[in-house]
Chain A
Amino acid sequence: MDVDIVSDHKNKMKEISRNETVIEIGHLKKYYVLRKGFIDKILVREQKYVKAVDDISLDIRRGETFGLVGESGCGKSTLGRCVLRLESITAGNIRVFGQNIRSLADRQLKKLRKEVQVVFQNPYSTLPPHKIIGNMLKEVINHHEIVKRDMIKEYCLDLLGQVGLSEVFYTKKPKALSGGQRQRAAIARALATEPKFIVLDEPVTALDTSIQAQILNLLMELQNKRDLTYLFIAHDLSVIRHVSDTVGVMYLGKLVELAPTKELFQKCLHPYTKSLASSSPLLSEVYRIDRIELTGEVPSPIDPPAGCRFHTRCPFSFSRCSKEEPKLIGPDKGHLVSCFLYS
């Protein structure tokens, strides 16, 4: 009984804190300028852009895991890099803890760097190959002056312990580590600055399945312990279902569906989400989703199709789809979809 009350209380506290929005992305656009060739210059052709992220708005609340899913090349990693401010923003706004990150002074930028961290996909290139793990952590900790210099080694060893690495790894170079161990070390580096928000850019994609589960559980455990907020980028819906509270589905730089995880999987609305879910044997079994096979290639983000971007591959498309662009609106509360089938 007592335990239940306590956990109820905890959940309530969590609910309250969850309403606080920490990341606000408003009409974010990221275009890459395509270099003009010699002939283009002579013929004065118009400037072309790769529209990696095109007008995306979403909110991430405190303590939640926001799952961002989509095929490769749909712009999900670019979005993550924009939030980290590793990429400049073409248009729109990103607010991180209330701070607009488009224009930051050096000191504010340093604070952002401390509060927002990242874990990358490829464990084999994510660690500096010449540094032992201890030195890599130390450098980060010293840069942000997290702890006093005489405490630093203990702090590092404590970090390694928290991500499930023994003290032996303190003096090891990355090449002596396996993929899963490297990813743990990368997580330790991300945690070293004591961030509040971490962008997880396909952190388990390159690992084999048994290790995937370990890393995912570690990430969830750390989230509870440290009150972290995650932006979890992945292309695997079953991974997303396992970890995230809210899911956004991206296609060609656009958000096509946005819903709480349970909601999304119980009745996914957008044909693209359906096709993604039905392509996973596990999910299609559990949620009885009819197989939707997509034909053709993803169109180029340089010249995206007019109207709904998905209409070239959508089995349900009709004449309106190629003329108008659907808006991201909600038939239900909290479940948004951009498709004319539902408006």
Chain B
Amino acid sequence: MNNRNAGSVISRSINLLFGDENIARWETVKKIIRNPNSRIGLIMIGILTLVGIFAPFIAPYDPYQQVLTESLEPPGLSHLFGTDLYGRDVMSRVIHGAWIAVKICVIGVGIAFIVGNLAGALSGYYEGWIDTIIMRIVDSIMAFPFLVLVIAIMAIFGPGLKNLYFAIAIVSWCQYARIVRSRYLSEKEEDYVRAAEAVGFSDKRIIFGHLMPNSIAPTIVYASLDCALVILVAASLSFVGVGAQPPIPEWGAQIAEGRQLLQVGWWIATFPALGIMYTVIGFSLIGDGLRDMLEK
């Protein structure tokens, strides 16, 4: 074995720390980091997450604090991104909005990812009536346009951030289920699954230990692209008024507030929009990079 570059030194020390198993895992991580797309994307989203977590310490002002005497100040030294109609600091509001964006991705896409993977695994592995039930549910959800269905669910549960997460999850798990199911259908015919059956492993072990690691890659790619989509959907919903309610500093809601004031204060809507753009580009880059790496 040639241990010339820094990467293999690190992989050797990981080997010493955690045992041989983790070398293979580390190789994958290394490959993802080496890809320029996913590296830039990961850095962008990493910054976003850090900004979101430490928002209360980074933001120069309280995002809810109204100072009516400083209403509609253009970007300047005291307020870098200017102030809105009520004199709230736009920069602080955009920074706090980052945390909400991260939460939407983690909770909304996270639930959809887990539920979709489980449902797809069950329906792909067992087929039969389980498959029929799950796939008919998926079909009926996907019969509606994405945004319309989310708006309908929000109308039932009422507006608010919490309901927004779940509405997004309810609608978007279907794609994951379909992707995973099709992977399982082809993957379970492979000889290594036959061999696992011959060794006598339980269904649970074959599904989670053997099939899932080999069919999860496309859903990870899809999830990172889905994050971008979900950010946009959440912003659109807040924009039309069924998502986050004012005064919550959600980016879509901020754009909606700034919309009428575009001619007198362009900065109110522009900076949250840039935030959305940044996030969407970041997730798309990760998705592209992962696709290059994980899918052959």
- A interface residues (Cβ-Cβ under 8 A, vs B): 81, 84, 86, 109-110, 113-114, 116-118, 120-122, 125-132, 134-135, 139-140, 143-144, 168, 170-171, 173, 186, 189, 193
Contact = CB atoms under 8 A, between A and B. Distances in A.
Contacts of A84: 198
B31 to A, nearest CB: 13
B192 A127 contact: yes
A275 to B, nearest CB: 30
Contact of A125 (B23, B192, B196, B201): B192
A117 B198 contact: yes
B214 A128 contact: yes
Contact of A114 (B196, B200, B201): B200
Interface in B101-149: none
B213 interface: yes
A121 B194 contact: no
B191 interface: yes
Nearest to B189: A125
B24 interface: yes
A132 B24 contact: yes
Contact of A170 (B1, B20, B191): B20
Which interface class (under 10, 10 to 19, 20 to 34, 35 or more) fits B? 20 to 34
B56 interface: no
Contacts of B214: 128-130
A84 B197 CA distance: 9
A130 B294 CA distance: 12
Nearest to A136: B192
Nearest to B200: A113
B195 interface: yes
Given A86-B198, A143-B200, A171 B191 contact: no
A129 B196 CA distance: 13
A186 B20 contact: no
Given A84-B198, A86-B197, A86-B198, A126 B20 contact: no
B210 interface: yes
Given A121-B191, A125-B191, A132 B21 contact: yes
Nearest to A121: B191
Nearest to B216: A130
Contacts of B210: 128
B199 interface: yes
Chain B interface, DSSP helix/strand/loop, else mixed: helix
A139 B24 CA distance: 16
B108 to A, nearest CB: 28
B136 to A, nearest CB: 19
B199 A113 contact: yes
A193 B191 contact: no
B198 A130 contact: no
B209 interface: yes
Contacts of A127: 192
Contacts of B213: 128, 130-131
A173 B24 contact: yes
A213 to B, nearest CB: 23
Contacts of B21: 132, 134-135
B295 interface: no
A139 B191 contact: no
Given A128-B213, A135-B21, 8 more contacts: A81-B194, A86-B197, A113-B200, A117-B199, A130-B214, A134-B20, A140-B199, A143-B201
Contacts of B20: 132, 134, 170-171
Interface in B124-177: none
B200 A126 contact: no
A125 B187 CA distance: 10
Given A132-B20, A132-B21, A135-B21, A109 B200 contact: yes
Nearest to B202: A143
A86 B200 CA distance: 10
A168 to B, nearest CB: 8
A189 B200 contact: no
Interface string B20-40: 110110000000000000000
B198 A122 contact: no
Nearest to A123: B191
Given A134-B20, A171-B23, A128 B196 contact: yes
B192 A129 contact: yes
Nearest to B15: A171
A186 B199 contact: no
A286 to B, nearest CB: 34
Nearest to A153: B20
A215 to B, nearest CB: 16
Given A109-B200, A129-B214, A139-B209, A120 B23 contact: no
Contacts of A132: 20-21, 23-24
A113 to B, nearest CB: 3
A122 B21 CA distance: 25
Nearest to B21: A135
A129 B217 CA distance: 13
Contacts of A120: 191, 194-195
A186 B201 contact: no
Contact of B199 (A121, A143, A168): A143
A130 B199 CA distance: 18
Contacts of B195: 118, 120, 126, 186, 189
Given A125-B191, A173-B24, A193 B196 contact: no
B202 to A, nearest CB: 9
B245 to A, nearest CB: 45
A193 B196 CA distance: 12
Contact of B194 (A118, A171, A189): A118
Contacts of A114: 200
